[in-house]
């Protein structure tokens, strides 16, 4: 496994995180500013225009997004009630998954 340079997701928590009430529980979401930045980085990444610092920033935000998805699913399951179907929670969030496998012969 090749190490990946990233901004620590915890460094984004104080400025880019909010909790939003959904029914009888709260979900963690990005603030509008962090969500906008995330989308900008994703678009620039598609065009292969990211600097190394921006690649590290995108990696950190993407990791935080995956953490939130897991935590929010746990919160919803514990609440045993959800006003919207689980499959629509992140319908408006861009797909941030990436294949990070590197062929061993490279």
Q: Give the model's pLDDT for residue 103.
A: 47
Q: Give the model's pLDDT for residue 3.
A: 63
Burial class of 8 by CB neighbour count within 10 A (0 to 12, 13 to 18, 19+): exposed
Q: Where are the domains positioned within the chain?
A: 9-88
Q: Using CA atoms, how far apart are residues 38 and 26, in angstroms rounded to an integer?
A: 22
| More confident site: 4 or 99 | 4
Q: Residue 74 pLDDT more than 90?
A: no
Show the tokens assigned to 22.
């959904």
Q: Using CA atoms, how far apart are residues 49 and 59, in angstroms rounded to an integer?
A: 15
Q: Give the model's pLDDT for residue 45.
A: 96
* Cβ atoms of 92 and 84 closer than 8 Å: no
Q: Which contiguous run of DSSP H or E holds residue 28? A: strand 25-30
| More confident site: 83 or 70 | 70
| Alpha carbon distances (Å) from 100 to 4, 31, 69, 106 | 9, 27, 19, 13
- Percentage of residues in the chain with pLDDT exceeding 70? 71
């Amino acid at each position: 496994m090749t190490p990946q340079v990233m901004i620590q997701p915890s460094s984004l928590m104080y400025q880019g995180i909010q909790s939003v009430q959904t029914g009888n529980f709260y979900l963690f979401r990005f603030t509008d500013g962090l969500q906008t930045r995330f989308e900008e980085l994703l678009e620039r990444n598609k065009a292969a225009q990211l600097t190394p610092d921006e690649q590290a920033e995108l990696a950190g935000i993407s990791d935080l997004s995956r953490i939130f998805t897991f935590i929010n699913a746990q919160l919803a399951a514990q609440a045993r009630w959800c006003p919207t179907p689980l499959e629509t929670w992140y319908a408006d969030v861009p797909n941030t998954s990436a294949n990070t496998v590197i062929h061993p012969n490279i």
